[in-house]
Amino acid sequence: MGYKGIDTTELVFDNYAASADSILGGEPGRGFFQMMDGVEVGRVNVSARACGVAIRAFELAARYAQQRTTFGKPIAQHQAIGFSLAEMATKVEAAHLMMVNAARLKDSGERNDVAAGMAKYLTSEYCSEVTQASFRIHGGYGYSKEYEIERLMREAPFLLIGEGTSEIQKTIISKGILREYAL
């Protein structure tokens, strides 16, 4: 559907014994922790990708809305479209702040499962909403491959799924907040 620049493939290790010195991560018995650390980095990574797709979708909408004229004025001058641009810009800004916060926490070495989960959840959902709003602003052209928003419409859904779906992020967040606010 999207992400045509990378291949997705399956790896099968059938009855394969790795010697201790060639083990992934280099430390036998630490695999689960290494995987969890990798997943936290991955969530910040997907979050950053969601911010990138969202800002591009917003830029395209802001440009198109000032070029396309209906009823005697650029569609950006219709209040409904202006409000849509305002919502998109606010979501792009909030998503970016959330992603940077999670990335800084990860860099500091502190536990960041909740921050990474929140950032991944919010940015991917906002990315999806902003991309769809931009698509709508493009009218019929948004459905055409001639316009970049068509590709972003195919990229955005993966960000809701990869590195754990929104439901899984909410599971992590709820466990974290109940740990913090335990009676």
Ligand X SMILES: Cc1cc2nc3c(=O)[nH]c(=O)nc-3n(C[C@H](O)[C@H](O)[C@H](O)COP(=O)(O)OP(=O)(O)OC[C@H]3O[C@@H](n4cnc5c(N)ncnc54)[C@H](O)[C@@H]3O)c2cc1C
List active site positions. Answer: 163
Nearest-approach distance from CB 104 to ligand X, in angstroms: 24
Nearest-approach distance from CB 73 to ligand X, in angstroms: 41
Nearest-approach distance from CB 63 to ligand X, in angstroms: 29
Please write down the HEC assignment for all residues of the chain. Answer: CCCCCCCCCCCCCCCCCCCHHHCCCCCCCCHHHHHHHHHHHHHHHHHHHHHHHHHHHHHHHHHHHHHCEECCEEHHHCHHHHHHHHHHHHHHHHHHHHHHHHHHHHHHCCCCHHHHHHHHHHHHHHHHHHHHHHHHHCHHHHHCCCCHHHHHHHHHHHHHHCCCCHHHHHHHHHHHHHHHCCC
Give yes or no for a contact between 54 and 131, defined as CB atoms under 8 angstroms apart. yes
Q: How many residues does the chain have?
A: 183
Q: Which is nearer to ligand X, 130 or 160 (CB)?
A: 160
Q: Which is nearer to ligand X, 8 or 15 (CB)?
A: 8
Nearest-approach distance from CB 58 to ligand X, in angstroms: 24
- How far apart (Å, rounded) are the C-alpha atoms in residues 23 and 20? 5
Q: Which is nearer to ligand X, 84 or 124 (CB)?
A: 124
Residues that bind ligand X (CB under 6 A): 3, 8, 158, 161-165, 167-168, 171
Q: Which is nearer to ligand X, 149 or 160 (CB)?
A: 160
